Structure 1
Amino acid sequence: MSTDEGVLLSPALVVGHYCHDRITLPGGVRVDALGGSVSYITNVFEALSMKADVVSKVGADFLYNSQLLYPPIVVENQCTTEFFADFTAGEERLLRVGNVCEPILPKDIVSDTKYEIGLAVGIAGEVLPETLERMIETSRIVVVDVQALMRTFDPVTRLVSLRRLEETPFYNLLHRISYIKAARNEASYIDLEIVRKFTCVIVTDGENGSKVYSKESEWRIPPFNATDVDPTGAGDSFLAGFSAGLYQGLSVYQAALMGNYFGALAVEQVGVPHFSPEQLKKLQEFRDTNVGVILSSKPDTGGPRFNLLCHNELPVRETNTQKPQAL
């Protein structure tokens, strides 16, 4: 746990709504599941024994209280935020919003606790500019999923769309944000060359891994092989792995690779994933000895896999983009 002017900092504050996900998988099978970025993020944190405070709101109709370690605020006169995600039309999902719960206000963050990392992970406009400012005041590192800032909804069709980042009321806060994460389609709504001057931008690109853009440098972070079953929570699991890596003291490169690892694990299951002891064991040395992961090819298998290397052996720029072995 870090200190800020002598004050002990708690691990993480996570702000965003839980939701009901109605998912149509590529084969046409329909699944109802617990959703919301906060559910995927706290799932990874729990697997890594990383504690968090969660600020989230749901309606009295919320179905998944028994699955949660971090209960939400229940607003009796509201319905739980609801999304309909259709993956049958190709690579990009068709996303509609149903009910939307009321926003999270600055006063809802009631604790005077100071945090090492604050994650703004709204899904339906629930994180207001003033709420993000409150998070900035309470957190040493602030990580934002850009969908929390840019999502809009058609009032008739309920289709989810995006607006350009510079058109949002959050734009003037960028210089106070440590990292923003954008999916490939979201990145096209960001002027990367301008935004990277204010904050570090991480773009996730599915099976192609991710890319980190700082003010003066950029790094491509290689992916892990995975069988894509349900990509719903991949970006959220990436963000959790990345943030946990930062909390553990890893470099941005190492933390992003850790994010790629959890993103790959997430797509292989429907809904919030479960991690096997074997999968977590691969991260044990990573966490306990603060080493990095790099790719190499082993002569005994003839195929690529990952090895653990000391921090000072890690590359600092573009690296081999071969994938590690399947998870």
Structure 2
Amino acid sequence: MLDAYSASPNFLTIGHVTKDLHPDGTFSLGGTVTFAALAAYRLGLVPTIVTSADADLLSCLPSLLSPAIPVQAILSTETSAFVNVYAQGFRTQYLRARASTIQPDHIPTAWRDLPVVLLGPLAQELTPQILSVFPRRPGRILAATPQGWLRRWDADGRVWPTPWLDAEQVLPQLDVLILSHDDLLPFANGSRTEADAILNAWSKRVPLLVATDGRHGATLYQQGVPASFPAYPAHEVDPTGAGDVFAASFLAHLYQHGDPAQATNFANCAASFSVEQPGISGIPTPAQVAQRLRPLS
């Protein structure tokens, strides 16, 4: 365990921290847990992380992330590492290394009852059995971003889409599912209409589903009923992590205020900041969001 935070934690995120590799041999710290924990921290929550990585990364993680965010670290021989190549709005991704799988017994007992839990798999590192640690109960928000369950990789490490075979098992155990509309296009023959049909079907199995769609904004489904929320204008520099910032911002606002529609609008605003600077440097503060936030009509 790394440095403990003085206040009681209220936000747990689980998944691999990653190295996002650059052509010059350097890397940026990445991963859903990284972006989500930092966003939650800057928005006033007290986050914790359960992850897996190698000893070298774990030794410098407090300085790369924040010493104020406690981490339960499972030592692995490797840290998950990705190469992301963007061209014409599309990403080609390669997995160069993968850390070990995170098991249910890796979750500290003291963190199993926190009010907000976000499962953020990136490379199939979480199995459905992880849900056994978090039975649904009133007062807790159990959420997931399923992108890591929608990926496979070939012998060269290139990442390809794969169907989420455990969706029917996992969805009824969640309170919130947050994903990108683009994650579903490969399973819908590139058709937005067919992707919408998948979202509609999934939304009937989970109380809240939020689908982000870049410049098109986001769609919130409440018990299967959709509502659209426009995006905020932004000058895109680096889209990496924007969906994770959206997810954490949505959950933070939902936990603090209890209104899914307001939370979606807030998260759209927060995500607009995250694309305007590279990596984690774009994660906004509450004051920044408040200046740009538009009231819902």
TM-score by length of 2: 0.83
CA-to-aligned-CA distance 1:184-242 (integer Å, 9 cap, x gap): 22133462232111113211111221111233421111111111111011000000110
1:173 aligns with 2:170: yes
Alpha-carbon separation, structure 1, partners of 2:73 and 2:116: 25
The answer on whether the counterparts of 1:61 and 1:80 sit within 8 Å (CA) in structure 2 is no
2:221 maps to 1:226: no
User: Compared with structure 1, are the counterparts of its residues 71 and 17 closer, same or farther at alpha carbon in structure 2 (3 Å cutoff)?
Assistant: farther
Q: Give the Cα–Cα distance (whole angstroms) in 2 for the partners of residues 105 and 133 of structure 1.
A: 11
Mapped partners of 1:306, 1:95: distance in 2: 32
Is contact 1:237–1:262 with CA below 8 Å preserved after alignment?
yes
> Of 275, 281, 288, which residue of structure 1 is paired with 2:287?
281
Q: Percent identity?
A: 25
Deviation at 1:263, TM superposition (A): 1.1
| Aligned mates of 1:173, 1:207 — CA distance in 2 | 29
Measured after TM superposition, the shift of residue 94 of structure 1 is: 0.5
Tell me if the contact between 1:146 and 1:181 (Cα under 8 Å) persists in the aligned partners: yes
Contact 1:79–1:101 (8 Å) recurs in 2: yes
Q: What is the correspondence of 1:1-327 to structure 2 with a 5 Å cutoff?
A: 11-23=10-22, 32-62=27-57, 64-65=60-61, 66-69=63-66, 70=69, 72-76=71-75, 78-87=77-86, 89-113=87-111, 114-136=113-135, 140-154=140-154, 156-165=155-164, 168-188=165-185, 189=187, 191-199=198-206, 200-274=208-282, 280-283=286-289, 307-308=294-295, 314=296
SS of structure 2 residue aligned to 1:62:
helix
Distance 2:248 2:213 in 1: 16
- Judged with a 3 Å threshold, the aligned counterparts in structure 2 of structure 1 residues 216 and 86 are, in CA distance, closer, same or farther, namely closer
Matched length: 273
Match of 1:322 in 2: none
Cα distance per residue 1:155-201 (max 9 Å; x no partner): x1211122223xx2342121111111121221334622321111132
Deviation string, structure 1 residues 299-319 (Cα, Å, up to 9, x no partner):
xxxxxx7554xxxxx55xxxx
CA distance in 2, matches of 1:44, 1:209: 19
The residue that corresponds to 1:325 in the other structure is none
Aligned-residue offset at 1:12: 1.4
- TM-score normalised by the chain length of structure 1: 0.76
Distance in 1 (CA, whole Å) between partners of 2:178 and 2:257 is: 19
8 Å Cα contact 2:12-2:118 kept in structure 1: yes
Counterpart of 1:226, as a letter, is: A
The one-letter code matched in structure 1 to 2:287 is K
The structural deviation recorded for 1:140 is 1.7
Q: Secondary structure at the match of 1:115?
A: coil
- The 2-side partners of 1:181 and 1:23 are apart by 28
C-alpha contact 1:233 1:266 (8 A) present in aligned 2? yes
Flag the structure with larger Rg: 1
Gaps of 5+ in 2: 1-7, 188-194
Residues 26-77 of structure 1, C-alpha deviations (whole Å, 9 max, x = no match): xxx9862111111111111111121022111111231742222335455555
Counterparts of 1:261 and 1:182, CA distance in 2: 17
SS at match of 1:98: strand
Structure with the higher fraction of residues in helix conformation: 2
Q: The residue matched to 2:48 in structure 1 has which SS? A: strand
Deviates most, 103-112 or 92-101: 103-112
User: Could you tell which deviates more after superposition, 13-22 or 58-67?
Assistant: 58-67
Contact 1:187-1:203 within 8 A present in 2 as well: no
Counterpart CA distance in 2 for 1:10 and 1:77 is 25
SS of 2:109's partner is coil
Give CA-to-partner distance per residue, 1:70-99, whole Å, 9 cap, x none: 354555551111000001x32111001011
Change (3 A) 1:282 1:32: closer
SS in 2 for 1:256: helix
Structure 1: tracts of 5 or more residues without a match: 1-8, 286-304, 309-313, 316-327
Are the equivalent residues in 1 in contact too, given 2:276–2:282 (CA < 8 A)? no
Contact 1:233 1:271 in 2 (8 A): yes
